[in-house]
Every structure is written in structure tokens, then in C-alpha cells.
């Protein structure tokens, strides 16, 4: 909660629409550039899981930042669960350090953010039908299958899940700026189909 | 009880005399069983019950209004008749007196008015349509009743004193008739004033005029009190009716708060949008209009002119719009046809359509036919209308799917169902994905995934077929039919209105259509007195009962939930009647599917057509309740805010205390927040140093520009060590891990050994050292043997056994050995087997035995047998047969009694 709050303040300055979004998950990859003996790592590292029959990678977790990594025998690592770009990087470095400590010549190459998932709440109801009618080329709205509207942006390759309650999930971003840009693009469209409040409804709700 | 129920359901159309005003005692009678006993008395049904009860009461009110007016009509008719015929000559004629003339005139007016009212109301009850415009009808009713009632009371009170005076002088038929007419007029007044109460009550409910009607009613009461004449009759009347009047006055006052809300809604309706139901009702006409208004032109040989033509897609013909001559028909013949050309020669007519499939193989054809059969199956079992045309459509999709290899790796039935679903979407057939998944007995989301993938393959995702939104009201008719087993337009109509209202109240956005339709249908069926349990509805619409209950509760929470059915329908009518005030098109860019055409922008980035569709499908952006999900989110937001506020307050307090304590000089105060933070964040072994280092790490991170190295000096070693095992732990984990992954390790070891051996053999081949080759080969063999050891071992053991076993001495033994090798050994009855062989083996001996020492008893038996069958003695065959029989008998006995030696060898044999 507190984390969200502080992040909110940080983002507000950059956010003209006044809606603050929270990053929920960051996925990054890094190449440690050395062959790993997964079994050794599995035996030596404390928070690790290795079930070779099921999945050919070690699943390792650390608590601060609370993240999970998949390490493959080739030295590739995928780090998930961080709440920001910096945190993701820090976590990846920690994982690499652990591997290094276990006696492998681990490096830290080609760190890249692969995906960022963030959520926000525009605090007004949205008519998904209207959105689907006017932006048909980008939208997929099948209430029989999924309650939200799936909005695929063409240029930024981002995918937004828009719900009638006004909650939005943005995914597919490679950086925080992508998310910002996408949200700033979509916000006017959302306001177009927001519920128009009648004055008397407000009056009556006050009574 | 059953008969009573039937009465209940039949009641809404019949007229029951009800005398008492307001909610008469009849209500209690009409409410007892709005629901069958089978329905669980939970929240959802309680909602419906209350709604239905209210709807019934409303109906009763309307009926009592009708009855009261009918009474007024009768009374005024009698008054007119009696008074008009009251001419006895001389002074005894009513037209000599102003008062009587006035009374007659008023009675005639009352008669005319009540006739008109009765007719109108009967029409409304019968057809459900009102002759007068809905928004004025209440006021017309109320004002009319009031005025006529006032006129009646004033006329009768004017006539009473003169009649009184006359009757003091003389009592004859003239005065009697006058008294009768006056009392009839008074009775008519009573009836009309009561109906005025009812219509006043309705007006107060329907609109913000409620305030006025309230004062009207009060005025009526006061007027009655102050303007009372000396007539004792009137006083009695007032005494009787005042209490209920004031009571209903109070009741109407209570209703006014509610009426305000409803009234405002009416204002909104007049300012804003047509209701969705309005749109639904208008659709068919609209379509018809389009068809007529935008005809294509064609040459009609009958009219000998270019005429507008009409195309009927269902029957496949194009006809002249003026004379009706069929100009063209879309009919295809499969056989060859011939026609004469201009030179009189017969020629092959038409053209041969080359099917695409003709280039494909027979198996391809089969695949297509299989898909077609599957589609036909689904169509038949779900009773999708449209027959071959829909099958063809779906099959066309299926063909493309096959061409694009979409069917590979998917079930034919699923692909077929998805194709059919697309075809249904295209032709607006009321079928949901869940209907197909229910038929296929698979998860709806599995089918949904297939459908979406298919759309992608067919590039339909941006095509209007799929883009077109599904309107929940499309399904109402089919669901109604499935629930009731027959068509019922009244139920469907009400359900449609409820769905329309749900749309306006934002209940449908992001929801499956089936849940909404189920709730609407449930309420509608109950309001029409049809008792269906939730389970019935659930099985028709394929949602879970909890969902249905949730939708019902949500509907109750909207403002329509607090209306009665009459009010509800009236609102729908109002919204219907008030067409949307012409909205001026706004400036903007057209973004909808018509964006490349010349269509002007209307609103919200939509053209006029799309905007109308949007309003129809979704109920528009204006008004209505908040969507339930939004309400929930709002609630959560508020809770969170409150919590934060509380937290802040308590923090402040803490801070305060802390400061205070500091001032007081107590040095050590445990900082709760900090302590908690530590305990939750730390890994066990990592020290508190970690916490401190964390902050600095984060700060340093940006500075560490070249992090693409193996330099991790910024990472705290203490923390990292916390994630590592020490030796003892390592050993323990090794044991656990190896135990858990035993199979994998074994496999891995075997694989490695095989690989190594193969490699060695390969290398040895190159080295050409005969020794090495041999050794390597041996090794390879050994490993290969080890790999297949478990299977081979068993085989070997068996082979050995068979080798070691001594050759069978007797046929019995041989059979035994053979059987033992087979798997069914345990099922063989070895004793029977023994018996089989011993009897055969003994055959040779038997003859001897038979001749040597036959059992006397046996002999006796034989004799007996012999005697029993005397007729067979002469037969040549018989003795032999008899002898055979004897053999068997004897040998058996022999075996039992004597044959111990033969038996012995069996004991020697090893059974195992």
C-alpha cells in the first residue's frame, strides 16, 4: 500500500490525466553467459526448486525484492515478479550473484525488460459496446468468453484489458514510458464512452 | 388449492367486484402463492415475490378504478332517467325548478364522462394500450373525476333543500322520484370521488405532480368538511369516508418521496434517449422501410417500364414492386437444361459451375463431408432454423478452415461447432456459444478458444460478422419458448422490457447475455403468473443458479427494482413514446466501420447508424444505475480511504505519544512499525545489515553504469549467503532431492552410459585396435543389456525354466507344462484335466478290468438298466452301446476304488 502511494506521487507529475497506474509485474531476461549445472545449484541454493521431469529449469526465489527467477542450463535467466524496472534489475543481479557464489563464472549480459504489466482505475464506468463499435479494428469484445474488452494497440504492440467498472490492465510494455504513452492515448477514448452522471443522481446520492 | 391457483393466474383479465378503496382485502387473497413450493425461499425469489405482489396490487387498483367508474355510470344513468321522466304535470315537473334542471344537466355530464372513462379503461385492460397519451392520462383521470364529483355534490346539495321543503308540504311520487334522483347523484358522487382518490394516488406515483395531487386530495377532504350542507346524509357519508381518505392521503405522502425519484427519471427520459425496448420494437418496421425505400431498379416486362424491384432473400426471388411479377429467381439446377436461342437452335443453357473441390482428392472430399455431417448433426439436434442455408454457410467456413489446415490437431466437432456459431452470428440466430458447448459436452471456454482462433484464421476478427455485438434481447424469444415449451409473446415482451431496462442500468456490459436473459425471463414469467423454479430457468439459459440469484439481486438494487410492474411498463411506454429529441451532430471524426465512407459524424466517433445501434444494444451512456462492478469498486475505494484515514490518525497519535514519552524522558520506546518491517522482510540468516544495505543498493543502482560485467560488488554478500545452504543442509537436501528424482536419475545414468559406450565403440572403430574394439563392444553390449535388463531378465528366467524342465513324460504333463507357460494357468481346473487324461489312459486297462472283476453292484445296476429297457434288447446296436456305457461306469468305479496305483503318479508330479 505504502509502496503504491509513493509510486503514485512519483507518477502523478508525469501524468496529465490524473489517473495513476501501478506496475504489478515486470518480466526481464538476462544472459549469465556460462553453462550451469542445475543440480548443483538446486542442492546448494536455499530457495530453489528443480524438478527435471517437469521443467528443465531451476525456479529460484528471493525475498527482497520479492521475485522469482527461472535459470536454464544455458545460463539464460528470466526474472519475474518485480514491481519496477529498477527492482527487476536489482533482483536479476542478486540472482546472478547467488549463482556466482555457487562457483559459476556468471556475468550479467543483455539485461532486457520483456514485459511490464500495470493496472489502473479511471473511476468511471465505461460502455464497452460503444468502444467496440467505434474502435472495432483494435477491439475484441466477447462477453460470452471474457468480460473485458481487449484493446490491441497497433504501433506500440500493447494490449489493454478494459473493464466496465473502469479498471484497466495494460500489458506488453517494454518500458514505463510505453505504458504512459499507451494510457495517454487511450484515456480520451475512454472518456468518450464514460457514463454520464445525471445531476439529480448526485443530488439524491447526497441525500 | 390447485383450483385456487388457477383462479389466481386467470385473475388479471377477469373483473372482480371490489368495493373497498385503496388496497382492498382482496390483496391478501391474491398474494398467497406467487411462487410454487419447489422454489427455495432465498433472496432472489423473495425479490421476485415482492415485485410480483406489487404488480398484482397495481392491477387490482386499476380494476377497482374501473369498477368505481362503472358504478358511477350506473348511478348517474338512473339519476338521469328518474329525473328526466319526473313530469307529473302542473307544478310537479322538474323543469320548473332551476335546482332540478341543474341536477339533470350535471347527471348527464357525469353519465357521458363515466361512459367515456369506462370504455377507455376497459379498452386498456383488454388490450394493454391506452387511448389517451400516457403522460396525460393520469391527470385527465384525476381532474375529470374531481370536477364531475364536485359538480354532482353541488347539484345534489342545491336540490336537497327544495325537495326537503316540498316534502314538508306533500309527499307524492314526484317528490319521491326527486329524492331518488338526488340520492343516486350522491351515490355517483361517492363512486367518482373514490375513483378520484385512486387516480390521484396513481398520478402522485407517476410523476412529480404528486405534490399537487396531494394538495388536491387534501383540498378535497377539507372541502368535504367545510362545504358540508345541512344534509344528514352527507355528514354520514363524510363520517364514513373521511378516515380512509386521510389515511390514503398519508400514504400518498409517503409515496411522494419515491415519486420524486420516478418523476426525475421521467424528466431524464424526456431529455434524453429513447429506451432500448423502443428500439427493439422499431427494428422490424425499420427494416421493412429500408427495403421499400431503397429498392433497386429493374426492367419489368409486365409494366413495360423500369420499376423498383423487391428482393426476398428467404424465398430467393426478385419481383416488381408495382405489379408483383417475379422477375428473377435464385434457383440452381444440377442437371443440364437447354433453351432455344434467337436462331431457333437448341443450346445448352446456363453455365457450369466448377466446384473448387473437383481438384481435390477423395480423402479431402471425405474430410469436408465429415465436417458437413457434423454441422448437420448440430443443426438438427439444436434445432437451429434455416436448414440448408445455414448449413451451407457454416460449411463454407469449414472448407476454408480445412484449407488452412485448421482442423489438424483439433476435433472435427469443435471446429464444426465454431463454424456454425459464426454462421449463427452472421444470420442473427439466437444461439450462444454455450449451447454448442453444451451439445458437445465440452467446456465453453475451450470452444471459445477454438472460435477465436478460427476467427483469426479466417481473418474475421475485424469483420462485421464477429465485430457485430451480440444483443441479449435477441435470445429472449428462444429462451421463452424453451422455458414454456411454447411461444408466449406477453412473457417475452415483458422480459424484453426488463432486459432493456437492465441495459440502461449498466447491468449487461461485460456480462454474459444468458444470465441477464435468465433473470429477465424469471421475473417476467412470474409476473404473468407462470410458476417456474429457478432450476427450470437455469437449465434453459445455462447459467449457474448463484449467477441468476446475483442478477436478480442486482436488478432489485436498481431503481426499477422498486417499481411495480405497472409502473415499470408505464416507464417503458413513456420512454417509448418520447422519442429522442433530435440531437445535433457533433463535430468529430468517424471512427466506426463506416469511417472510409462519406457518412457524417454523429457523436462519440460514430456515424448516425452506428450510434443508434450503440444506443439500442447498450442503453446509452446516460443515466441508469452504476454498473454493479463499479459499485463494488467504489465501495472498496471508500473502505480503503477510510482505512488510510484511520491509519493516518493512529500514526499521528503514535507520533504524539512518542513525542510525549520522549519529553517525559523514557528513552527506549519500541518503534512498532520498524520492528514489524524487520521481521517480515528479513530472511532468517541475513542480519539487519541487509535492510540498511537495501536502500543504498537502490540508490547505487543507477550509478553502476557498466553493470554488464561480472562485478557484483554492489550486492551484499551477507544477504546472498543467506540464500545458500551450508554443508549439512546440502547433504540433507541432496538426500531429499535424489529420493524425489530417483526415476530421473536412473534414466539419466542409463542414458549417459549408453552414450558413453557408443562413443567409445565409435572411437575404437577408428583406432582399429582389435582389443579396444572388443572391449568397447563388450561394454556397449553390457550397457545395452543393462538398459533392457529388467525386461530381458524375466524372459531369460522363463527360457531357462523351459530348458531345465524335463521333457514331458506323459501327455498330461506336456499339457500341464504348456498351460503353465500361458498366462491363463491359474484359470485352468487341473483336476478336470487330470480326469480327462486318466480316463483316456485307462481305456486300455478298462477292458481288462471290465472282464476280470466287475463290481457286483455295478452289475446289478447294469441288469437293472437292462430290465428297464427291454424293448432295446432285440436291437443289434444296443448291446454295444450298452457295453460302452458299462465301460465308463466301471472304469470310473475302478478309478475310485481300486486305481490307487494310477493315482500315485499324479502325486509324484510337481504341481508347482
Q: What is the pLDDT of residues A20-60, one digit of tens each?
A: 888 999 999 999 888 998 888 888 888 888 988 888 899 99
Q: Which residue of B has its CA nearest to A52?
A: B744
Q: Which of B712, B737, B745 to mutate to test the interface with A (most CBs of A within 10 A)?
A: B712
Q: What is the CA B451 to chain-centroid distance, rounded?
A: 19
The three cell numbers locating residue B725 = 545452504
Contact B604, B611 (CB under 8 A): yes
Q: What is the mean pLDDT of residues B288-294?
A: 37
pLDDT value of position B678: 40
Q: Which residue of A has its CA nearest to B602?
A: A134
pLDDT value of position B597: 64
The verdict on a CB contact (< 8 Å) between A164 and B510 is yes
The verdict on a CB contact (< 8 Å) between B719 and A52 is no
The verdict on a CB contact (< 8 Å) between A141 and B627 is no
B681 in contact with A at a CB cutoff of 8 Å? yes
Q: How far apart are CA B438 and CA B449, in angstroms?
A: 15
Higher pLDDT, B289 or B191: B191
Contact B9, B30 (CB under 8 A): no
Strands A21-31 and B326-329: unpaired
What number of CA atoms fall less than 13 Å from residue B286's CA on the CB side?
Answer: 9
Contact B317, B329 (CB under 8 A): yes
Shortest CB distance from A128 goes to which of B510, B683, B724?
B510
Note the pTM of the prediction, 2 decimals: 0.52
Confidence of residue A92 (pLDDT cuts 50, 70, 90): very high
In sequence order, what are the beta bridge partners of A23? A118
pLDDT value of position A64: 84
B606 in contact with A at a CB cutoff of 8 Å? yes
Phi–psi pair at A152, nearest 5 degrees: -105, 120
In sequence order, what are the beta bridge partners of B326? B319
pLDDT digits (tens, 9 = 90+) for B843-858: 544 444 444 444 444 4
B443 has pLDDT over 80: yes
Q: Which residue of A has its CA nearest to B728?
A: A44
B102 has pLDDT over 70: yes
H/E stretch holding B153: helix B134-169
> Closest approach of chain B CAs to the CA of A32, in angstroms?
9
* Mean per-residue pLDDT of chain B: 69
C-alpha distances in angstroms, B637 versus A110, B434, B631, B640, B644? Answer: 41, 35, 10, 5, 10
Residue with cell 538476462: A30
Q: What is the mean pLDDT of residues B557-575?
A: 74
- 8-state DSSP, B586: P
Could you tell me if residue B624 is left (phi over 0), alpha (psi between -120 and 50 degrees) or otherwise beta?
left
Confidence of residue A115 (pLDDT cuts 50, 70, 90): very high
Q: How far apart are CA A131 and CA B608, in angstroms?
A: 15
A56 in contact with B at a CB cutoff of 8 Å? no
Within B357-474, residue ranges assigned H as helices are 362-382, 387-403, 412-426, 433-440, 444-457, 464-467
Residue with cell 549463482: A99
Contact B414, B446 (CB under 8 A): yes
pLDDT value of position B250: 47
pLDDT digits (tens, 9 = 90+) for B236-272: 444 444 444 444 444 444 444 444 443 334 333 333 3
Sequence-ordered list of residues with C-beta below 8 angstroms from that of B423, at least 6 positions apart, any chain: B390, B393, B394, B397, B429
Q: Three-state secondary structure along A183-195?
A: HHHHHHHHHHCEC
Q: What is the mean pLDDT of residues B387-398?
A: 88
Q: What is the mean pLDDT of residues B614-631?
A: 73
Q: How far apart are CA A133 and CA B636, in angstroms?
A: 31
Confidence of residue B505 (pLDDT cuts 50, 70, 90): confident
Higher pLDDT, B285 or B758: B758
The three cell numbers locating residue A28 = 526481464
- 8-state DSSP, B474: G
pLDDT value of position B817: 75
pLDDT value of position B473: 83
SS3 B471: coil
B555 has pLDDT over 80: yes
Q: Which residues of A touch B729 (CB under 8 A)?
A: 46
Confidence of residue B575 (pLDDT cuts 50, 70, 90): low
A34 in contact with B at a CB cutoff of 8 Å? no
Which residues of chain B from 432 to 451 reach within 8 Å of chain A, CB to CB? 432-434, 444-445, 448, 451
Contact B498, B479 (CB under 8 A): no
Cβ count within 10 A of residue B702? 9
pLDDT value of position B358: 57
pLDDT value of position A29: 95
pLDDT value of position B373: 92
pLDDT digits (tens, 9 = 90+) for B725-752: 888 888 888 888 888 888 888 888 999 9
Q: What is the CA A17 to chain-centroid distance, rounded?
A: 20
Could you tell me if residue B544 is left (phi over 0), alpha (psi between -120 and 50 degrees) or otherwise beta?
beta
pLDDT value of position B832: 80
Q: Is the peptide bond before B47 cis (omega within 30 degrees of 0)?
A: no
Contact B407, B417 (CB under 8 A): no
B109 has pLDDT over 90: yes
Contact A38, A58 (CB under 8 A): yes
pLDDT value of position B722: 81
The three cell numbers locating residue B507 = 447491468
Confidence of residue B19 (pLDDT cuts 50, 70, 90): very low
pLDDT value of position B271: 37
Q: How far apart are CA B880 and CA B887, in angstroms?
A: 10
Ranking A79-93, B174-188, B744-758, B870-884 by mean pLDDT, the lowest is B870-884
In sequence order, what are the beta bridge partners of B197? none
Q: Which residues of A touch B469 (CB under 8 A)?
A: 129, 132-133, 141
* Percentage of chain B exceeding pLDDT 70: 56
Q: How far apart are the first and last CA of chain A?
A: 32
Q: How far apart are CA B351 and CA B336, in angstroms?
A: 9
SS3 B542: coil
pLDDT value of position B660: 58
Shortest CB distance from B730 goes to which of A43, A62, A193?
A43
Sheet holding A167-173, edge to edge: A48-49, A57-62, A67-72, A76-82, A21-31, A109-121, A167-173, A159-162, A149-152, A139-140
Which residues of chain B from 211 to 250 reach within 8 Å of chain A, CB to CB? none
Q: How far apart are CA B97 and CA B750, in angstroms?
A: 129
Q: How far apart are CA B522 and CA B537, in angstroms?
A: 7
A150 has pLDDT over 80: yes
Amino acid at each position: 500500500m505504502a509502496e503504491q502511494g509513493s509510486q503514485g506521487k512519483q507518477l502523478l507529475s508525469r501524468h496529465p490525466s490524473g489517473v495513476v497506474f501501478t506496475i504489478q509485474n515486470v518480466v526481464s531476461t538476462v544472459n549469465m553467459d556460462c553453462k550451469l549445472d542445475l543440480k548443483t545449484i538446486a542442492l546448494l541454493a536455499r530457495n530453489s526448486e528443480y524438478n527435471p521431469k517437469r521443467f528443465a529449469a531451476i525456479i529460484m526465489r528471493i525475498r527482497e525484492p520479492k521475485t522469482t527467477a527461472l535459470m536454464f542450463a544455458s545460463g539464460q535467466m528470466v526474472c519475474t515478479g518485480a514491481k519496477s524496472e529498477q527492482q527487476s534489475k536489482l533482483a536479476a543481479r542478486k540472482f546472478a550473484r547467488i549463482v556466482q557464489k555457487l562457483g559459476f563464472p556468471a556475468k550479467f549480459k543483455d539485461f532486457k525488460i520483456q514485459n511490464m504489466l500495470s493496472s489502473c482505475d479511471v473511476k468511471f464506468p465505461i460502455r464497452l459496446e460503444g468502444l467496440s463499435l467505434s474502435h472495432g479494428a483494435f477491439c475484441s469484445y466477447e462477453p460470452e468468453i471474457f468480460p473485458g474488452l481487449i484493446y490491441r494497440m497497433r504501433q506500440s504492440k500493447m494490449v489493454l484489458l478494459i473493464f466496465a467498472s473502469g479498471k484497466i490492465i495494460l500489458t506488453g510494455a517494454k518500458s514505463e514510458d510505453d505504458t504512459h504513452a499507451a494510457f495517454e492515448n487511450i484515456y480520451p477514448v475512454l472518456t468518450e464512452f464514460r457514463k454520464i452522471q445525471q445531476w439529480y443522481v448526485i443530488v439524491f446520492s447526497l441525500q | 388449492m390447485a383450483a385456487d391457483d388457477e383462479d389466481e393466474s386467470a385473475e388479471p383479465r377477469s373483473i372482480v367486484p371490489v368495493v373497498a378503496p385503496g388496497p382492498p382485502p382482496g390483496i391478501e387473497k391474491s398474494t398467497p402463492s406467487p411462487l410454487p413450493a419447489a422454489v427455495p425461499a432465498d433472496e432472489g425469489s423473495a425479490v421476485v415475490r415482492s415485485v410480483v405482489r406489487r404488480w398484482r396490487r397495481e392491477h387490482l387498483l386499476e380494476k377497482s378504478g374501473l369498477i368505481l367508474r362503472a358504478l358511477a355510470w350506473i348511478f348517474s344513468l338512473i339519476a338521469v332517467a328518474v329525473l328526466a321522466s319526473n313530469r307529473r304535470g302542473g307544478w310537479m315537473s322538474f323543469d320548473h325548478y332551476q335546482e332540478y334542471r341543474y341536477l339533470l344537466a350535471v347527471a348527464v355530464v357525469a353519465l357521458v364522462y363515466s361512459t367515456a372513462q369506462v370504455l377507455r379503461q376497459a379498452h386498456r385492460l383488454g388490450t394493454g394500450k391506452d387511448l389517451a397519451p400516457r403522460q396525460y392520462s393520469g391527470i385527465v383521470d384525476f381532474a375529470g373525476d374531481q370536477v364531475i364529483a364536485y359538480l354532482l355534490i353541488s347539484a345534489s346539495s342545491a336540490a336537497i333543500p327544495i325537495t326537503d321543503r316540498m316534502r314538508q308540504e306533500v309527499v307524492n311520487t314526484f317528490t319521491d322520484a326527486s329524492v331518488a334522483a338526488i340520492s343516486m347523484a350522491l351515490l355517483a358522487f361517492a363512486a367518482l370521488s373514490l375513483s378520484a382518490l385512486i387516480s390521484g394516488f396513481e398520478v402522485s406515483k407517476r410523476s412529480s405532480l404528486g405534490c399537487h395531487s396531494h394538495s388536491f386530495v387534501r383540498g378535497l377532504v377539507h372541502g368535504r368538511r367545510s362545504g358540508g350542507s345541512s344534509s344528514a346524509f352527507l355528514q354520514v357519508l363524510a363520517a364514513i369516508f373521511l378516515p380512509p381518505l386521510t389515511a390514503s392521503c398519508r400514504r400518498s405522502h409517503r409515496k411522494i418521496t419515491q415519486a420524486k425519484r420516478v418523476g426525475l427519471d421521467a424528466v431524464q427520459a424526456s431529455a434524453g434517449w429513447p429506451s432500448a425496448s423502443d428500439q427493439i420494437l422499431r427494428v422490424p418496421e425499420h427494416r421493412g422501410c429500408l427495403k421499400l425505400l431503397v429498392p433497386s431498379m429493374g426492367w419489368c416486362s409486365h409494366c413495360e417500364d423500369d420499376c423498383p424491384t423487391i428482393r426476398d432473400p428467404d424465398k430467393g426471388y426478385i419481383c416488381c414492386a408495382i405489379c408483383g411479377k417475379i422477375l428473377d429467381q435464385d434457383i440452381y439446377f444440377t442437371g443440364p437444361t437447354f433453351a432455344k436461342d434467337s436462331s431457333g437452335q437448341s443450346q445448352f443453357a446456363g453455365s457450369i459451375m466448377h466446384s473448387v473441390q473437383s481438384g481435390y482428392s477423395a480423402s479431402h472430399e471425405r474430410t469436408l463431408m465429415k465436417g458437413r455431417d457434423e454441422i448437420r448433426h448440430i443443426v438438427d439436434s439444436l434445432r437451429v432454423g434455416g436448414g440448408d442455408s445455414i448449413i451451407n454457410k457454416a460449411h463454407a467456413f469449414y472448407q476454408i478452415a480445412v484449407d488452412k489446415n485448421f482442423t489438424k490437431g483439433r476435433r472435427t466437432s469443435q471446429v464444426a461447432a465454431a463454424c456454425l456459431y459464426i454462421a449463427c452470428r452472421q444470420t442473427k440466430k439466437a444461439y450462444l456459444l454455450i449451447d454448442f458447448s453444451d451439445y458437445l459436452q465440452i467446456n465453453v471456454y475451450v470452444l471459445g478458444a477454438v472460435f477465436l482462433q478460427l476467427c483469426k484464421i479466417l481473418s474475421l476478427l475485424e469483420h462485421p460478422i464477429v465485430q457485430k455485438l451480440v444483443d441479449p434481447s435477441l435470445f429472449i424469444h428462444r429462451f421463452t419458448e424453451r422455458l414454456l415449451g411454447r411461444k408466449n409473446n406477453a412473457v417475452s415482451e415483458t422480459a424484453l422490457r426488463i432486459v432493456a431496462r437492465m441495459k440502461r442500468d449498466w447491468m449487461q456490459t461485460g456480462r454474459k447475455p444468458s444470465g441477464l436473459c435468465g433473470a429477465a425471463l424469471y421475473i417476467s414469467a412470474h409476473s404473468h403468473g407462470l410458476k417456474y423454479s429457478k432450476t427450470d430457468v437455469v437449465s434453459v439459459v445455462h447459467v449457474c443458479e448463484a449467477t441468476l440469484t446475483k442478477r436478480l439481486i442486482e436488478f432489485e438494487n436498481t431503481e426499477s427494482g422498486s417499481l411495480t410492474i405497472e409502473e415499470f411498463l408505464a416507464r417503458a411506454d413513456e420512454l417509448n413514446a418520447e422519442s429522442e429529441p433530435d440531437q445535433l451532430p457533433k463535430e468529430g471524426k468517424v471512427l466506426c466501420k463506416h469511417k472510409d465512407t462519406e457518412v457524417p459524424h454523429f457523436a462519440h466517433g460514430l456515424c448516425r447508424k452506428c450510434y443508434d445501434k450503440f444506443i439500442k444494444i447498450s442503453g446509452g451512456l446516460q443515466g441508469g444505475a452504476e454498473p454493479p462492478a463499479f459499485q463494488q469498486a467504489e465501495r472498496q475505494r471508500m473502505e480503503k480511504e477510510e482505512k488510510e484515514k484511520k491509519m493516518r490518525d493512529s500514526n499521528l497519535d503514535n507520533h504524539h505519544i512518542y513525542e510525549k514519552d520522549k519529553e517525559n524522558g523514557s528513552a527506549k520506546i519500541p518503534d512498532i512499525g520498524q520492528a514489524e518491517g524487520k521481521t517480515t522482510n528479513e530472511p532468517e540468516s541475513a542480519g539487519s545489515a541487509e535492510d540498511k544495505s537495501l536502500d543504498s543498493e537502490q540508490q547505487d543502482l543507477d550509478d553502476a553504469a557498466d553493470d554488464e560485467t561480472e562485478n557484483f560488488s554492489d550486492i551484499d554478500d551477507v544477504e546472498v549467503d543467506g540464500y545458500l545452504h551450508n554443508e549439512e543442509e546440502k547433504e540433507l537436501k541432496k538426500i531429499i532431492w535424489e529420493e524425489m528424482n530417483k526415476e530421473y536419475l536412473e534414466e539419466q545414468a542409463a542414458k549417459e552410459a549408453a552414450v558413453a559406450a557408443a562413443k567409445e565403440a565409435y572411437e575404437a572403430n577408428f583406432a582399429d585396435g582389435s582389443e579396444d574394439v572388443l572391449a568397447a563392444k563388450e561394454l556397449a553390449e553390457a550397457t545395452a543389456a543393462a538398459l533392457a535388463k529388467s525386461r530381458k531378465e524375466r524372459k531369460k528366467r522363463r527360457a531357462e525354466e523351459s530348458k531345465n524342465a524335463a521333457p514331458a513324460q506323459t501327455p498330461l504333463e506336456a499339457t500341464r507344462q504348456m498351460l503353465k507357460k500361458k498366462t491363463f494357468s491359474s484359470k485352468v481346473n487341473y483336476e478336470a484335466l487330470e480326469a480327462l487324461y486318466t480316463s483316456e489312459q485307462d481305456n486300455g486297462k478298462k477292458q481288462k478290468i471290465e472282464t476280470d472283476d466287475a463290481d457286483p453292484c455295478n452289475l446289478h445296476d447294469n441288469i437293472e438298466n437292462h430290465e428297464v429297457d427291454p424293448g432295446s434288447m432285440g436291437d443289434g446296436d444296443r448291446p454295444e452301446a450298452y457295453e460302452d456305457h458299462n465301460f465308463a461306469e466301471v472304469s470310473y468305479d475302478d478309478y475310485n476304488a481300486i486305481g490307487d496305483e494310477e493315482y500315485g503318479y499324479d502325486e509324484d508330479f510337481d504341481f508347482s
